Amino acid sequence: MTQPVTAETVRTDAARHLGIGREQLTPGLLLGEDLGLDSLAGIELSMSLEERYQITITDDELADVSTYGELEALVLAKVSAR
C-alpha cells in the first residue's frame, strides 16, 4: 500500500462497503443500533477492511468493538503495527 492510511481513508472504505455517504459515518455511531449491522454484517465489514489493509482482526478484538470510532481506531492501530 503506497498511500498512507488515515482515519479518512478508513472511513471512506468503510462507508463504501456499507453503501452510505462518508459524512454519515461518525465515530460515535454504534455498529448495531445506529448502523443496523447484525453480527454477520459486522464480520463482513471487518473482513473487508482486513483485506483492504492486509491486517488481521481477531474475533475477540472485534467483540470488544461497539462503535464505528472504535473499529476505526483498531484498524489504524493494526496498520501502524504492520
Partner 1 sequence: MIEACDGRRVVITGLGVLAPCGVGVDDFWAGLRKPAEPLVERKIPDFDAAQWGIKHVEARRMDLFAQFAVAAAVQALGDAGLDTASPYAEERCGILLGTGIGGAHAWETQTQVLLDKGPARVSPLVVPMVMPNAGAAAVSLRFGWRGPVETVCTACAAGTHAVSNGAKLVASGRCDAVLVGGSEAAHSGLMSTGFDNMKALSNSGISRPFDIERDGFCSAEAGGMLVLEEASAAEARGAHIYAEIAGSGSSADAHHLTAPAPDGRGAIASMRAALADAGLEPGQITHVNAHGTSTQLNDLTEAKAVAEVFGAGGPAITSIKGVTGHSLGAAGAVEAVALALTFHHRELPPTMGTENVDPAFEIDLVTEPRSWTPGPALSNSFAFGGHNGTVVFLPA
Question: Residues in the site for partner 1, rule: CB under 8 A?
Answer: 18-19, 40-41, 43-44, 47, 50-51, 56
Q: Quote the CA–CA distance of 39 and 7 in Å, as a whole number.
A: 23
Cell 472485534 locates to 62
> Considering the complex, what minimum distance in angstroms separates the CB of residue 56 from partner 1?
7
Q: 6 vs 16, which CB is nearer to partner 1?
A: 16
Name 72's Cβ contacts closer than 8 Å, sequence gap at least 6.
7, 10, 11, 14, 27
Q: Which is nearer to partner 1, 20 or 30 (CB)?
A: 20
Q: CB of residue 55 vs partner 1: minimum separation in angstroms?
A: 11
